[in-house]
Structure 1
């Protein structure tokens, strides 16, 4: 499906713009593309290496998990002495989530404290970097699907933020078994129950799936089967 979408986009560009073809894509804006007969592999190894070098953690040890179960993210605490460094690392990690959905939630937590980062927040960023050090070769694989179906997964953590009582939600959307869209964000409003927070998450995921179906329709690659959305073991059809 993904190579087909790329070919359709290329044909559309050729019809409307003067373009030159320089061969298969290998490296673009920090993204590295590895081609094989059956799949594409996207990674950001060099970019991740540059982040670790900037943070001075190239020779550091790696950790197996992004967050400890006891981690809490409060705005109060001793302010970090170099907020510019904190913001630059958090921003760089945001770009790394293009091919690393596994760090999206932790990076989202770190990015909520850019205005006044504390030393504990910086320790969180360092832990993320230690995790990246041990998983630097991770990335996304896009293979040729046997069926082009759209499947979405949605979930919410009710009142995750201790200070604002706002929930955090996340979703992931697969096209033909390939991960094409994901997110982890704090909900803009306070939910009065776990059910309400789940419904907000479902609504946001539904909007994203509808946007994706419209895009595929314009590219003439819309799957025949209806999209499926799963939330807490419940299956919802469009």
Structure 2
């Protein structure tokens, strides 16, 4: 701060431009009649160039209101994009379960299965298919949590097209147009 350089001023200018361009964005909370939990999840397969670990991202919604989100590097390296997405599905299913318990304690019961949206068809199919395939035997048993929740009817997994994937905002940088579209969906 005592000896700012031209580079420092350029960085400051960029930050101020970002703030000016996003001043109208924010978390808007709307009153909804039905308080239904649902979520979006995604991962970037082997996104870290140093460790080749994937990053999971999710956002949970109470009707149209964003109530929690996360972006976290996975603890182990995934051998496939399906495995990385399945790990993301599981982390999101655990968040949904915790939130449903919290809402139940507040007197708000979930009447229907919570919907979990993912843009990887293989991971969605794997969550509903009770058969283990030779290509999925290396998945840790911890990650079959989501399958159990689906089998119990507590969570329903659905495929969502990549262009409607809200969780992208939390795990990778997006071009301005996509970022603005995702922000308007929330």
Task: Determine if the alignment matches structure 1 residue 230 to structure 2 residue 155.
Answer: no
Deviation at 1:206, TM superposition (A): 0.6
More helix by share: 2
Deviation at 1:203, TM superposition (A): 0.8
Q: Which runs of 5+ in 2 are unaligned?
A: 128-149, 156-186
Q: 1:18-41, CA deviations, whole angstroms, 9 ceiling, x for partnerless residues?
A: xxxxxxxxxxxxxxxxxxxxxxxx
Task: Determine if the alignment matches structure 1 residue 143 to structure 2 residue 33.
Answer: no
Deviation at 1:129, TM superposition (A): 5.4
Q: 1:102-144, CA deviations, whole angstroms, 9 ceiling, x for partnerless residues?
A: xxxxxxxxxxxxxxxxx9xx96x97565322311232111111
Deviation at 1:207, TM superposition (A): 0.7
Deviation at 1:223, TM superposition (A): 2.5
Root mean square deviation of aligned Cα:
2.8
TM-score, reference length from structure 1: 0.45
Deviation at 1:162, TM superposition (A): 1.0
Work out which of the residue numbers 76, 80, 86 in structure 2 matches 1:199: 86
**2:162 aligned residue:** none
Query: For residues 190 and 225 of structure 1, do their structure 2 counterparts lie closer, same or farther at Cα, with a shift above 3 Å needed?
Result: same
- Count of paired positions: 120
Work out which of the residue numbers 54, 58, 62 in structure 2 matches 1:167: 54
Distance 2:102 2:87 in 1: 23
Q: Which runs of 5+ in 1 are unaligned?
A: 1-54, 56-80, 83-118
Distance 1:233 1:161 in 2: 19
Greater relative contact order (Cα 8 A, min sep 6): structure 1 or 2?
2
Distance 2:37 2:45 in 1: 26
Distance 2:55 2:46 in 1: 7
Mark the structure with the bigger radius of gyration. 1
TM-score, reference length from structure 2: 0.56
